[in-house]
Amino acid sequence: MALASPTYVGDTYSMSVSLSSQPSSLKSPVETRLANFRYIRSGLQTMIFDSNGQELHKHLDLWFQDGSVICQAERTLFKVHVSQLSRHSALFRDVFTLPQPSRPRSQLLSGLDALDDAKAVLEEYESCPVVFLHDKAEDVANFLVALYDGCNFGNNDREDFRVVSGILRLATKYIVDTLRAKALAHLCIAWPSTLKAWDAREDLARSFEMETSSMSGYFYPSPIAVINLAREVNAPCLLPAAFYDLCHYTYSQIYEPAEDEPLFQTEDSSPLSPLDMQRLSLGKEAAQHSITALIQTMGHAQTHIRHAQPHTHFRKNSSGAICVSAAACRKDFTELVDLATQHYLFDRERGHCDPLYVSEEIGQLKSAEFSECKACARSLESWAAREREKMWKMIPLWFRLEMPSEG
């Protein structure tokens, strides 16, 4: 981070802060200046206006009478404490160490009019500096609450993401490392780096789907928003799970989502960058190919995952680790391959773009609870579990998110 030298423009003191170590989207100036507001009282109501005549509003909760700095975001004002911001934020700590300009009080009050001479009474100016933040007021409010009261995150649903993503952006932008780490760790619960954690988040989505009779995709935020956030705040750990989640959707759902579909975004939402769309296309193709390869491999899997006894030609109820009816189990596997091919490749039912889901389902097709050959049933389940682990490790490569290490 580099701080530019303070400059005076007229009677305004401003300072630009260059965030050279942050992503380009986060490089916005921070300006500090003496308060340039005026207060107009009409009856019992007091209104605040800036120098351009726009009405501003105090935040109902984050306006402390003993505050020492005013932060303005959009048209909302927050009166907070220099000590609190400096304690947590390396950037604000540097900003507030610069000398502040001093001007005579009479200069502050010169050239001002009341909007209504009969009812309006001009209040005194605030005596503390103002920091102009080029951020959404809602994000600033959530960020400040987290600084003052600590983190109180939710369950990673859409509403929770709206809050946490804003906190993460500002914690990154203003170099609040501990808050950034907490926000990122929370998001990683829903967008994890391990298969076990992914299964847990999918279970939560399915529970939501069953309870609400809606698509499970409505629980979590759009993976497009997660990918863009990860790019903005330099959080690559979120990308594999987000890309994998997005590849479950068709291209029409991605490019032209209806208003009642999970990927529908508001006007201020950003689409994926062209490079990330290319990554998505390549990964989506790789995921579909992996399902085909999985089903084909299952047709040959029996000879590799079971311990057969070729001379046994009749089926017995097997509870051990050895297949007691090779011919019958071979026929079963052939039928399971045909079933999986029809269901996932031809009918394109749920999971045709979700190899982790397909491999989990395949592992249960010959359930040990009902199968007469428990040995092959358990072997199939173990084989499918190993294939899922291999697939999970391949996801970053499918979407070109990392290159294989050179040997």
Structure tokens at 298: 């299952």
- 374: exposed, middle or buried (C-beta count within 10 Å: 0-12, 13-18, 19+)? buried
pLDDT tens-place string over residues 324-376: 566 666 666 666 766 666 666 655 556 667 889 888 887 776 664 445 677 77
pLDDT, position 98:
73
Closest CA to 94 of 112, 82, 79, 106: 82
> For residue 70, what are the contacts with CB-CB under 8 A and spacing of at least 6?
35, 77, 78, 79, 80, 126, 128, 129, 130, 131
Which pLDDT belongs to residue 318? 44
* pLDDT averaged over every residue in the chain: 76
Looking at residue 235, its pLDDT comes to: 96
In 3D space, the residue among 15, 19, 20 whose CA is nearest the CA of residue 31 turns out to be 15
What would the mean pLDDT of 82-97 be, rounded to a whole number?
A: 90
**Which tokens sit at 288?**
């579909």
pLDDT in tens, 215-269: 656 899 999 999 999 999 999 999 999 999 999 998 998 998 888 888 887 777 8
The dihedral sign for the CA sequence 112, 77, 126, 6? negative
Distance (Å, whole) CA 258 – CA 269: 15
- Average pLDDT in the 57-78 region? 92
Counting every residue written for the chain, the total comes to 407
Rounded to whole angstroms, how far apart are CA atoms 292 and 295?
5
Q: Is residue 70 a contact partner of residue 128, using CB atoms and an 8 Å limit?
A: yes
Which residue's entry shows tokens 């200046």? 33
Would you say residue 30 has pLDDT above 90?
Answer: no
Q: What percent of the chain has pLDDT over 90?
A: 41
Q: Copy the structure tokens of residue 349.
A: 């039912």
Q: Tokens at residue 226, please?
A: 């997660």
Return the closest-CA partner of residue 398 out of 229, 241, 231, 234.
241
Asked if 35 and 12 count as a contact pair (C-beta separation under 8 A), the reply is no
More confident residue, 112 or 254: 254
Which pTM does this prediction carry? 0.78
What 3-state DSSP class applies to 59?
strand
Measured between alpha carbons, how far is residue 12 from residues 54, 55, 127, 130, 294 in Å?
Answer: 18, 20, 15, 11, 67
Per-residue pLDDT at 177: 95
Residue 382 CA to residue 363 CA, distance in Å, equals: 7
> Strand, coil or helix: what is 301?
helix
Instruction: Tell me if 284 sits within 8 A of 247, measured CB to CB.
Output: yes
Rounded CA-CA distance 262/218 in Å is 5
- Average pLDDT estimate for 141-166: 96
**pLDDT confidence band for 313 (50 / 70 / 90):** very low
For range 106-126, the mean pLDDT: 35
> 13: pLDDT confidence band, cut at 50, 70 and 90?
very low
Q: Over 60: is that where the pLDDT of 64 sits?
A: yes
Predicted confidence (pLDDT) per residue in 261-277, tens digit: 888 877 778 899 999 99
CA distance 364 to 384: 9
- Judge whether residue 305 has pLDDT over 60: no
d(CA 200, CA 189): 9
Long-range contacts of the stretch 8-16 (C-beta < 8 A, 24+): 8/101, 11/103, 11/107, 12/36, 13/100, 13/101, 15/95, 15/98
Contacts of 182 (CB under 8 A, 6+ apart): 151, 153
Quick one: average pLDDT of 66-90? Answer: 92
Residue 15 has pLDDT above 50, yes or no: no
CA distances from 336 to 1, 39, 63, 243, 263 (A): 60, 76, 66, 30, 34
Element (H, E) at 41: strand 38-42
Q: Please tell me whether residue 309 adopts helix, strand or coil conformation.
A: coil
Q: Where are the alpha helices (DSSP H) in 77-176?
A: 82-88, 90-97, 105-108, 137-149, 158-173
Neighbours of 12 (CB within 10 A): 13
pLDDT above 80: residue 283: yes
With bands split at pLDDT 50, 70 and 90, how would you rate the model's confidence at 188? very high
Strands 69-73 and 129-133: parallel
Question: If you average pLDDT over residues 42-46, what whole number do you get?
Answer: 72
